[in-house]
Amino acid sequence: MHIPDGFLSTLVAVIFWGFSAIAVAYALRRVGKDLGERQVPLMGVLAAAIFAGQLLNFSVTGGTSGHLLGAALATILLGPWAAVIVLTSVVSIQALIFQDGGLLALGANLFNMAVIGVTVSYFVYTSVKKLARGRSWGLFVGGFLAAWLSIVVASLSAALQLALSGTSPANISVPAMSGIHMLIGIGEGLITVGALAFLYSARRDLFTPVGSSPKGGALVWVFGLAIALALAVLSPLASTHPDGLMWVARQHGFLDAARAPFYKVLPSYIFPGISNKAVSTIAASILGTLLVFGVALGVAYLRRKKVV
């Protein structure tokens, strides 16, 4: 689900950077108020724990394996604001060190995993817990559903981002992504429940204070509900009418195109004296290739001099 660079159009990438930046900045402020001075060690170490927890896998069948993403677990244990920050750390470090997801695409990835993952988890978990009225099945059923739905909704969001960028048509990417992640989500749900069961028997005290209702929880709840609903409505719509999204993609394709005449002050040929576009493209390619070798040789030469 970590979208690499190159798959999102610049506009989509930048817009989602904006969304994520706002959400993370707001969460940082809330966390500062709720947790006080403990926040840095607590969240730093838990982010590392989620990161390490993602290594724990179990074999499903025939060489495939399931493993944890952790959005729901973090939300249940830490509350929504801290969970946003913890997942932001995890997703950012994965992009920075392991190239798991791109840097320009990081905004979109943060939006899917840290913002959507957490808000949807929070919405599902608190709703189920309310239904359960404090009985312990609420924790486990809520945990499973939160984990499962957060994965599926996040993947839908990723599919729509790809479709918006004109990278992948919605009628294919939405069913494909959500189908795969409905399966992955089951693994996520099972591990989350296993982890919750362990923590519930070992440290019951972790669940009462944090899970209750932090300030601004209602906002997160509404947001989670809105996102889940919006994507639930949008996705089938987008996949049955892929033209709609393609139209949007084309619209900002037009934005790019609209700029073009502005730059086209040069005559319609590209290399002076060569009027055929194909030929000039080939000429430019050859020039480029020569440049590659020139630069590479130059660099190698400089290096050799340095070594001696």
Partner 1 sequence: MDGRAKFLLTVAFILTVSLTPMAAWPIYILLFALVLSVEILSALGIWYVLKRALLALPFMLAAFPVIFTVGQTTLFSFSLGAWTLTAHSEGLERFISIAVKSWLSVQAAILMAASTPFPELLQAMRAVGIPRLLVSMFGMMWRYSFVLVDEALRLMRARAARSGQSSQAGAKAGGSVLWRARLTGGMAGSLFLRAFERSDRIYVAMLSRGYDGEVRSVPLPPMTSATWAELLAGLACLGLLLFSGILFWG
Near partner 1 in 114-153, by CB under 8 A: none
Phi, psi of 144 (to 5 degrees): -65, -50
Q: State whether residue 258 is helix, strand or coil.
A: helix
CB neighbours of residue 205 within 10 Å: 8
DSSP per-residue letters across 123-162: HHHHHHHHHHTT-HHHHHHHHHHHHHHHHHHHHHHHHHHH
Candidates 17, 19, 26, 51; binder of partner 1 (CB under 8 A) is: 51
| 23-42 binders of partner 1 (CB under 8 A) | 24-25, 28, 32, 36-42
Q: With binding defined as CB under 8 A, does residue 18 bind partner 1?
A: no
| 82-101 binders of partner 1 (CB under 8 A) | 85, 88-90, 92-93, 95-100
Q: With binding defined as CB under 8 A, does residue 183 bind partner 1?
A: no
Q: Write down the least CB distance from residue 54 to partner 1, Å.
A: 9
Q: With binding defined as CB under 8 A, does residue 246 bind partner 1?
A: yes
Q: If binding means CB under 8 A, how many residues of this protein chain bind partner 1?
A: 104
Q: With binding defined as CB under 8 A, does residue 167 bind partner 1?
A: yes
Strands 57-61 and 64-67: antiparallel
Q: With binding defined as CB under 8 A, does residue 15 bind partner 1?
A: no
Q: With binding defined as CB under 8 A, does residue 175 bind partner 1?
A: no
Phi, psi of 60 (to 5 degrees): -95, -65
Q: For partner 1, give the closer residue by CB, 125 or 221.
A: 125
Q: For partner 1, give the closer residue by CB, 25 or 133.
A: 25
Sequence-distant (6+) residues with CB within 8 A of 215 are 30, 33, 34
Q: For residue 156, give Cα distances in angstroms to 1, 64, 122, 161, 288.
A: 10, 22, 18, 9, 40
Q: For partner 1, give the closer residue by CB, 57 or 213.
A: 57
Q: With binding defined as CB under 8 A, does residue 182 bind partner 1?
A: no
CB neighbours of residue 188 within 10 Å: 27
Q: For partner 1, give the closer residue by CB, 22 or 292.
A: 292
